[in-house]
């Protein structure tokens, strides 16, 4: 028992910031215990919760304990909201900023907004860090003279955003609607209101659309080298594509495979630097490049791929292979915006004005998904920072919500 | 809380990190089989999942029934470990 509520947390823990912000908002007195700075307190906490090391751990004055509670659970516990009163209209949670996606553009924007004390919630349906997190090594992001592993960069961006209080919800945003001067965001965690929204949803891998592609998905046909490459140790594969990603992924995959046929529909589109890297593997006999080559069919037996049918310079051929990795470009993740006023270009990228705002008021865009973006991590980060500052300007021109 | 959770992973796989992150956030313990360190166990992952991909998460429930979740799929993972 204690005369004040104890919140055991850590500065990097987003849910701890959320909990403390809620207590502050409702004038609930509490003592914050940073377990990173107080080993004895951490030991005490672990003793109270049978070793379940989850933050925040909230100890109430009656001795009861909640771990990682939602805001709703806390309000009910503190008698600040009646439990499940069916006659009451449901309270739609409200946020200053909701960011859709948690890739480099989104996380950079969140570093800027939260550092200025603008409360920010991010939604991520896939990997925190976006495409950067599934890229093996990044050689052209400034500040890393020896390059940086995609996973490391992603994790560091996340930590930096969470340090200032950004909260990342694992879930998907499914729609947007204007409601007064706010935006109603529908998500797998329910509906919420936001004073401003940032769309930083990036793109996903494109399929080639040939027979066998869907049938052998993840059983011989793959789109993520860093995820599935390890299954091709000492095997023979093809990589489809001739752009930067295809070349980068083919080079990554040589660490597993005995040989790679690189199938390029017309000619190489990868940068000179990458092509020079690629040439070393061609000289060593680890990669063979096939230009003017279409991939026509993926064929297999007993749940695994054994050949691909190709047309090279007009001649049909079979290549005996164990697997196919496809990197033929990206498809914008804007399908969920179809029924909204957010204007897209012919391909599906989001149009914006010089404030990075879309055609829907209060809804901004940054990163790979923005029409005209240059599709690099450094530029996505830069756009995230710009969008954050533009959103702040927008919010300052708007009345603050009345806090109770 | 399930009886046991085993995740097959590799060093470079971002979706594997997400499964681990989700389980840690929910306070669910797990064992990890890193296929880069134990390539000999690859066949086991393949047999369980029928797919040449990671992450593969094997959840053993309290009644000893097993659920195998391929990839990072919160719609399946969340109820399986609840
Ligand atoms: C193989 C490969 C190699 C690359 N190598 C490099 C490199 O070396 N250097 C470089 O600078 N760039 C590289 N890039 C490009 C770089 O990865 C992208 O430019 C960058 O990741 C874009 O960041 P972003 O934040 O705009 O989008 P993304 O990284 O795509 O992130 C968007 C996120 O939004 C999430 N999302 C989408 N829709 C929703 C929704 N409705 N609800 C919730 N979440 C959603 C997605 O799951 C995703 O995680 C590479 C790309 C690939 C594919």
**CATH number of the domain enclosing A29:** 3.40.30.10
Residue A136 beta carbon below 6 angstroms from any ligand 1 atom: no
Domain boundary among A287, A306, A326: A326
Residue A123 Cβ inside 6 Å of ligand 1? The answer reads yes
Domain boundary among A299, A326, A353: A326
Q: Distance (Å, rounded) from C-alpha B37 to C-alpha B21?
A: 20
Which residues of chain B lie closer than 8 angstroms to A304, CB-CB? 52
What does the pLDDT read at residue B19? Answer: 94
* pLDDT values of chain A reduced to their tens digit, one per residue, 404 residues: 567 899 999 887 778 888 898 888 788 999 999 998 899 999 999 999 888 888 899 999 999 999 988 887 888 888 887 655 556 566 889 999 999 999 999 999 999 999 999 999 999 998 999 999 988 889 999 999 999 999 999 999 999 999 999 999 988 999 999 999 999 999 988 899 999 999 999 998 899 999 999 889 888 999 989 888 988 999 999 999 999 999 999 999 999 999 999 999 999 999 999 999 999 999 999 999 999 999 999 999 988 899 999 999 999 999 999 999 999 988 999 999 999 999 999 999 999 999 999 999 999 999 999 999 999 999 999 999 999 999 999 999 865 444 43
- A66: its two tokens: 């909640």
In a domain, A113, yes or no: yes
Length in residues, chain B: 82
- Say if CB A138 and CB A145 are below 8 A apart: no
Cis (ω within 30 of 0) for the bond into B55?
yes
What are φ and ψ of residue A199, in 5° steps? Answer: -95, 115
Q: Chain A to chain B, count of Cβ pairs less than 8 Å apart?
A: 86
Answer yes or no: are the C-beta atoms of A34 and A10 closer than 8 Å. yes
Question: Is A88 domain-assigned?
Answer: no
Q: What is the pLDDT of residue B8?
A: 97
Q: Please count the structural domains in chain A.
A: 3
- Closest Cα to atom 3 of ligand 1: A245
The beta strand positions in A335-396, using DSSP E, are 363-365
Residues of A in Cβ contact (< 8 Å) with B10: 226-227, 229-230
Tell me the CA–centroid distance for residue A111 and ligand 1, in Å.
17
CATH class of B4-81: alpha beta
Tell me the per-residue pLDDT of B31-71, one tens digit each, with 9 for 90 and over.
999 999 999 999 999 999 988 999 999 999 999 999 999 99
Which of A77, A105, A120 terminates a domain? The answer is A77
Same domain, residue pair A378 and A321 = no
Same-domain check for residues A279 and A375: no
DSSP secondary structure string for all residues of A123-137:
EESS-TTHHHHT-SE
The answer as to whether A402 is a domain residue is: no
Give the ipTM: 0.72
The residue range of the domain holding A192 is: 94-204+330-396
Residue B25 has pLDDT above 90, yes or no: no
A317 plus A173 within the same structural domain = no
pTM of the model: 0.76
């Amino acid at each position: 028992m204690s005369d004040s509520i104890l919140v055991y947390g850590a500065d990097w823990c987003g849910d701890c910031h959320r909990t403390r912000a809620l207590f502050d908002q409702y004038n609930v007195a509490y003592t914050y215990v940073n377990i990173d700075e107080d080993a004895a307190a951490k030991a005490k906490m672990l003793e109270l919760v049978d070793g379940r090391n989850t933050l925040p751990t909230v100890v109430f004055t009656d001795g009861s304990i909640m771990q990682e509670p939602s805001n709703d659970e806390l309000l009910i516990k503190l008698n600040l909201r009646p439990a499940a009163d069916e006659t009451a209209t449901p309270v739609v949670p409200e946020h200053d900023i909701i960011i859709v996606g948690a890739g480099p553009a989104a996380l950079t924007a969140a570093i800027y907004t939260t550092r200025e004390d603008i409360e920010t919630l991010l939604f991520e349906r896939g990997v925190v860090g976006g495409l950067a997190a599934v890229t093996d090594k990044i050689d052209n992001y400034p500040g890393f003279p020896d390059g940086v592993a995609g996973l490391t960069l992603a994790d560091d961006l996340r930590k930096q955003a969470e340090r200032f209080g950004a909260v990342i919800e694992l879930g998907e945003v499914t729609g947007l609607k204007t409601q007064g001067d706010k935006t109603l965001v529908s998500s797998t965690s329910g509906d919420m209101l936001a004073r401003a929204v940032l769309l930083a949803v990036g793109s996903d891998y494109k399929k080639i659309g040939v027979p066998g592609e869907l049938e052998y998905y993840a059983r011989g046909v793959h789109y993520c080298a860093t995820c599935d490459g390890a299954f091709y140790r000492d095997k023979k594969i093809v990589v489809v594509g001739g752009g930067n990603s295809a070349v980068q992924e083919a080079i990554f995959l040589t660490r597993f495979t005995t040989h790679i046929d690189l199938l390029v529909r017309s000619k190489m589109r990868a940068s000179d630097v990458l092509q020079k890297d690629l040439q070393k593997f061609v000289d060593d006999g680890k990669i063979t490049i096939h230009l003017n080559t279409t991939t026509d069919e993926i064929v297999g037996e007993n749940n695994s791929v054994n050949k691909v049918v190709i047309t090279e310079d007009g001649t049909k051929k079979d290549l005996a292979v164990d697997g196919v990795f496809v990197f033929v470009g990206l498809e914008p993740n804007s399908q969920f915006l179809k029924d909204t006023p957010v204007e897209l270009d012919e391909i599906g990228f989001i149009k914006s004005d010089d404030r990075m705002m879309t055609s829907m008021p209060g809804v901004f865009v940054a990163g790979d998904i923005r029409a005209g973006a240059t599709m690099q991590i450094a530029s996505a980060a830069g756009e995230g920072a710009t969008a954050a500052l533009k959103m702040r300007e927008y919010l300052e021109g708007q009345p603050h919500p009345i806090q109770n | 809380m399930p009886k046991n959770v085993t995740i097959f992973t590799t060093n470079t796989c971002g979706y594997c990190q997400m499964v681990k992150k989700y389980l840690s956030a929910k306070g669910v313990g797990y064992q990890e089989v890193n296929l880069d360190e134990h390539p000999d166990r690859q066949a086991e992952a393949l047999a369980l999942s029928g797919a040449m991909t990671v992450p593969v998460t094997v959840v053993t429930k309290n009644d000893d029934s097993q659920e195998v979740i391929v990839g990072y799929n919160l719609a399946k993972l969340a109820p399986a470990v609840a």
